[in-house]
Amino acid sequence: MTRTYRLGCLLGDGIGPEIVPAARRVADAALAAAGAPPVDWVDLPMGAAALAEHGAAVPASTKAALTDCDGWLAGPHDNESYPPSWRASGERAPGGELRHVFDLWANLRPCRTRPGVTGRVPGMDLLIVRENTEGFYADRNMAVGSGEFMPTPDLALVVGVFSREAVRRVVRQAFALAEGRRRHVTVVHKANVLHLSFGLWLEECAAAAREHPGVRLETVLFDAMAARLVRSPEAFDVVVTENLFGDTLSDLAGELAGALGMSGSLNAGDRHAMAQAAHGSAPDIAGRGVANPVGMIASAAMLLTWLGARHDDAGAGRAGAAIERAIDSVLASGVATADVGGSAGTAEFADAVVRELGSRA
Ligand code: ATP
Ligand code: MG
223 counts as catalytic: yes
The whole-angstrom distance between residue 326's C-alpha and the CA centroid of its chain comes to 20
Ligand number, closest to the Cα atom of 294: 1
Which candidate, 77, 74, 31, places its Cα nearest to that of 315? 31
351 counts as catalytic: no
Mean pLDDT of 291-295: 97
Query: Among residues 28, 63, 103, 190, which one is catalytic?
Result: 190
Pocket residue to mutate for ligand 1, from 13, 260, 294, 339, most atoms within 8 A of Cβ: 260
Instruction: Using the atom order of ligand 1, give the atom closest to the CA of residue 14.
Output: 3
Mean pLDDT of 331-349: 96
pLDDT at 141: 55
For 73-105, how does the pLDDT look when each residue is reduced to its tens digit (9 = 90+)?
999 998 778 887 777 677 788 988 999 899 999
Query: What is the pLDDT of the chain when averaged over all its residues?
Result: 93
- Of all protein residues, the one whose alpha carbon is nearest to atom 5 of ligand 1 is 282
For 227-272, how does the pLDDT look when each residue is reduced to its tens digit (9 = 90+)?
999 999 999 999 999 999 999 999 899 888 888 899 999 999 999 9
Query: How far does the centroid of ligand 2 lie from the alpha carbon of residue 259, in Å?
Result: 13
For 101-132, how does the pLDDT look when each residue is reduced to its tens digit (9 = 90+)?
999 999 999 999 998 887 667 789 999 999 99
β-strands 71-74, 273-275 pairing: parallel
247 counts as catalytic: yes
Residue 344 has pLDDT above 90, yes or no: yes
190 counts as catalytic: yes
